[in-house]
Chain A
Amino acid sequence: MSAAAEPLRDTDLGESELEARVRSLWRTPRGVIGWLSSVDHKQIALRYIVTAFFFMGLAGIGAVVMRLQLATPDAHVVNPDRYDQLFTMHGSTMMFLFAVPIMQAVGLYFVPLMIGTREVAFPRLNAFSYWNYLFGCLFLWFCFFSNNGPDVGWFSYTPLSLSQYNVGHRADFWAQMITYTEVAGLSVAVIMIVTVFKMRAPGMTLDRIPLFTWSSLVTAFMIVFAMPAVVVVSTMLILDRMVNTHFFDSSLGGDNLLFQHLFWFFGHPEVYFIFIPATGFVSSIIPTFARRPMFGHTAVVLSLVATAFMSFGLWVHHMFVTGLPRLGESFFTASSMAIAVPSGIQIFCWIATLWSGRPVFRTPLLFVLGFIFNFVIGGLTGVMVASVPLDTQVHDTYFVVAHFHYVLIGGSVFPLIAAVYYWFPKVTGRMLSETVGRWNFWIAFVGFNLAFFPMHILGLEGMPRRVYTYSAEMPWGTLNLLSTIGAIIFASSFLLLLWNIVRSLRRGEAAGPNPWDGDTLEWATSSPPPPQNFTRIPVVTSLTPLWEHRETLPAVAGLRVDRREVLVSTLTEAEPDIRESSPEPSIWPLFAAIATGCTFLGSIYTPWAIIYGALPVTITLIGWFWPKGTKEDES
């Protein structure tokens, strides 16, 4: 309620002066401290993306090692102990440290740009989440490299993961690092929901929200309601291991299926946290290259929402062979089949968009077509495993391994690579090479199918999952060898992608703001986007604003330029409502993350760490929230 003089506003300045002013206002300070204090959603998202790809690389190398071990019967590439660590790290990393974070990270980068705002809600929480995520990744992989990696699978079923059968701290690391990194995932989900709900540019009513933004929003909701389950279950696990609770001890009233119910209540929706954002990529790329707006926009949005709801009702299909009552199982067969309907609707809408458009062949579209090819296979085998009788045969075999790699790689990594080719110019200002891109696609496509298609047959021929070797008497050698060759080819496609990125960063063709003539707002700003994203917040009048307005973009005036300010708008109509300040950079989120990380790490060794850690965590949080007397604080 300060009665100070009227603050400086964007209306007081000329265009170029305004640009410079807003840019310096939003710029992350230079230097190491500045770098560590950054709250810029683009920088943080990029850190997330690079980190996630790095750990994907490690987990991918792990996969190749496993494939080498399985290439021939009775091989001795790694010992069984190492093999168990490898598949546990591969699964845990790919699911918890790569797939979910990277999908969230792409959202963190592009959603604010797409909805025409300057920052996400709660930028410091965002920074905090990244540091937590990074430390969690580092701790977990440090364990692996010190030959102490978790070795009970990414699902850590009890009683195998209880201290009686898993001596030492391997499963504790798994439990605590999963909880710890999920803190990051949950925070980002809340950030995403609030950002999309309240920070959309004026005029971006619900029906003008781009599909990728919808997909990020829907995913964030799913995370909020599903991820607590894994936090609860991994906490119960470590309590059973450390302080002798009996949640999963059947001799004292606990139950092993409780673990499975809680894990899959999270675990099945998780597949859709990974898949739904990927459909968002596809729904962004297809209209751009088909040269027309998305066919069935509303149907696609409703499909996303339907998928999200339904994904909570089918976890039991992971437990069809545990001896649950048959009637209940039939319900879960029906629900697991039914979720194919909304996915089908999306696929039909994409094909319809291509059909009635004028497709332009560029690498992103190529990867999208590869996605449809592979994902439909994965979806159909998904329908097969939804059937209780079929599942009793293929469950926990290589058939299922094939199925979910078709869904996760075919359904999510292919769109992700498409997204890399599509948005790389926006992020860096440079184009990736189209020639290398095509090679990249074909190598990935052939390698992927060669690696994973044979696994369907291996599973049917009786090869179970998670075996470190098999005997020469089993007829599995040839297909396993083929699969290994495919895996190596597929892995090399990522080297090609890396090379393409490095090459383009150094001497790629300049992209300009909108190289593909895209329709959404991220293409309205320069490439790479300036720290403030938009010097003037745009006003949205259509679902495809950049195709609507080819010369000038309607915009907002009247924001202060003496502090970081964002526009808060109403939930459905996106009418501008408040000018809120957005926090300036701060080192405290990093300190808070260090304190939290140390607490989690300590809690692996003693439950008292929670008590000892409370003090530093509290201090850092107070440091974070205590007003510093800046313009941003004084509203």
Chain B
Amino acid sequence: MRALASRASFLAATLLMACSHEQSALAPDGGTARAIYQLFWFFTGVCMAVWLVVMAFMLAAIFRWRGSSPDPMLEPEDASERRISWVVGAGVALTVLILTIFTFASFLTNKSFAEPRPRSVTIKITGHQWWWQVNYEAHRADQTFETANEIHIPVGQPVKLDFESPDVIHSFWVPSLSGKQDLIPGRYTTLTIEADKAGIYRGQCAEFCGIQHAHMAMYVVAQASGEFAQWRAQQLQSATPPHTDQLRRGQQVFQASACAMCHSISGTNAGGRVGPDLTHFGSRMSIASGTAPNTLGNLTGWIADPQRMKPYTRMPSVALTGPDLIAVSQYLESLK
């Protein structure tokens, strides 16, 4: 079992490595990101052309007189001034034309994003200093569940994200899928994301939200709808009960120590609401909001001294003996 767990975490880690490049506006895999990508290249192409023309004129302006001895002072001639006025006027007209086209292109792209689409899944994302709380919503209370820093979505279906922030402003940004959207205390904001193909997409907070803004990442896992349904069904279940003495010891330590004051594990009496829900912690790819891959070693190090991996994190160091530490870590990793 332990071998299996470590192999699974190894797999998660390699997956993470392999997919790390998927945090890029230049590698779009979703509806709006793709449209923005096309718009970006349209803008960039035109802008490069404009820049080259301006530079050509500037260099020509300088080099056409290279070698001729400078006059004391030139009295501009009317005829040549008029000629130049025409060229300048044409340049201005062209500028206006290009900007008008840009404005329209940008408006049309923006408009297409606003078109309402049926959305199968609604997820509430809550930004915290410095992690993401993820609540899958449903009409029936027993169909809702909570996780953190990892969002699973079905491929090819628009997913509605409702944002909330109880502390400071954060910004949700998974560049391969969509542009960003701020989470502002006291204001409702929302975003629709969609992945065209299965994959793992990384994102991170894009609005400065305090000292660990750098370590506030999340993963979006796009899965075929069957797999997604399976994942969802699994997440709805309570935590796997420990089935070895070592894991039982881990659970006891977790419940008896400060851990349970901040974290919840459904099906146990750990019900803290301050930190991420850990019910299916072992199934997640990363710890500490994408700070490190979720491996037993990393987790043990993180619990032993959170401030080392992520200084100023809200998670305190809990004094545990070596064996207790390992038991807790193993227990958490068993929560698939």
A residues contacting B by CB (< 8 A) are 79-81, 84, 151-153, 157, 159-160, 165, 250-251, 254-257, 290-293, 295-296, 321-323, 326, 329-330, 333-334, 337-338, 340-341, 344-345, 347-349, 351-352, 354-361, 369, 372-373, 376-377, 380-381, 383-384, 386-397, 460-462, 464-471, 473-475, 517, 547
Contacts and interface: CB of A to CB of B under 8 A. Distances in A.
12 contacts: A152-B208, A256-B184, A290-B74, A321-B182, A330-B106, A354-B58, A392-B36, A392-B181, A397-B206, A460-B25, A461-B23, A475-B21
A358 B26 CA distance: 45
Interface stretch (B38-46, B222-230, B239-247): B38-46
Contact of A321 (B16, B106, B180, B204): B180
Contact of B99 (A291, A296, A337, A466): A337
A142 B219 CA distance: 42
> Sorted from nearest, which 8 A-B pairs have the closest CB atoms?
A250-B186, A392-B179, A387-B106, A467-B214, A462-B23, A323-B189, A355-B61, A380-B47
Given A387-B43, A475-B21, 6 more contacts: A81-B311, A165-B129, A292-B75, A393-B33, A464-B205, A466-B213
A323 B76 contact: no
A80 B58 contact: no
Select the residue from A80, A157, A326, A372 with max chain B CB neighbours within 10 A.
Answer: A80
A369 B35 CA distance: 36
Nearest to A249: B186
Contacts, number: 257
A469 B214 contact: yes
Contacts of A157: 168-169, 207-208
Nearest to B105: A387
A160 B17 contact: no
B214 A470 contact: yes
A160 B209 contact: yes
A396 B206 contact: yes
A390 B169 contact: no
Given A160-B169, A323-B182, A464-B205, A394 B25 contact: yes
Interface residues of B, number: 92
B87 A352 contact: yes
Nearest to A468: B214
Contact of A388 (B16, B106, B202): B106
B262 interface: no
Contact of A348 (B91, B111, B167, B208): B91
Interface of B: 16-17, 20-21, 23-26, 32-33, 35-36, 39-40, 43-44, 47, 50-51, 54-55, 57-58, 60-62, 64-65, 68, 70-76, 80-81, 84-85, 87-88, 91-92, 95-96, 99, 102-103, 105-107, 109-111, 113-114, 129, 167-169, 171, 173, 175, 178-182, 184-190, 202, 204-214, 290-291, 311-312
A256 B91 contact: no
A391 B109 CA distance: 12
A450 to B, nearest CB: 18
A256 B187 contact: yes
Nearest to A162: B168
Contact of B208 (A160, A255, A357, A390): A160
A461 B26 contact: yes
Contact of B180 (A292, A295, A396, A466): A396
Contact of B73 (A152, A292, A387): A292
B51 A380 contact: yes
A462 B24 contact: yes
Nearest to A81: B211
A373 B214 CA distance: 33
A423 B148 CA distance: 60
A341 B55 contact: no
A133 B55 CA distance: 39
A157 B208 CA distance: 9
